[in-house]
Amino acid sequence: DAKTTQPPSMDCAEGRAANLPCNHSTISGNEYVYWYRQIHSQGPQYIIHGLKNNETNEMASLIITEDRKSSTLILPHATLRDTAVYYCIAVSNAGGTSYGKLTFGQGTILTVHP
């Protein structure tokens, strides 16, 4: 799976949009971009994933550049409960290769301030 690079930390004011970047310059055509987050002392929580197109769900939006070398997770109206470590990972759909494999890097610590 492609390596991903994220800033170690970011701050955001409550009610504002949080934009979390992720670089994945070596991503291959069959690799999805997945975002999970982990609130302190809890299990990881799936947020969103995408392959080529931008995606939106009730939690967030995912913007993937046309060349797929980077992406941005957008939390449109951040709340204090969004304070967490956010992980961006690239996951292959090649089959038989990624069972159970969730290689989280250091992620981005997002702190939402009042």
Residues 52, 33: Cα–Cα separation, whole Å: 9
Binding segment for another protein (CB under 8 A), chosen from 16-24, 52-60, 61-69, 93-101, is 93-101
93-52-7 Cα angle (round to 5):
90
- CA torsion 94→58→112→52, rounded to 10°? 30
Residue 16 or 52 with smaller CB distance to another protein: 52
Residue 15 or 105 with smaller CB distance to another protein: 105
Site for another protein in 13-72 (CB under 8 A): 32, 34, 41-46, 49
Q: Which of 22, 53, 17 is nearest to 35 (CA)?
A: 22
Instruction: State which of residues 3, 52, 101, 113 lies at the interface with another protein (CB under 8 A).
Output: 101
Q: Does 104 bind another protein (CB under 8 A)?
A: yes
Total Cβ atoms within 10 A of residue 91: 18
For binding to another protein (CB under 8 A), which residues are involved? Answer: 32, 34, 41-46, 49, 91-93, 95-105
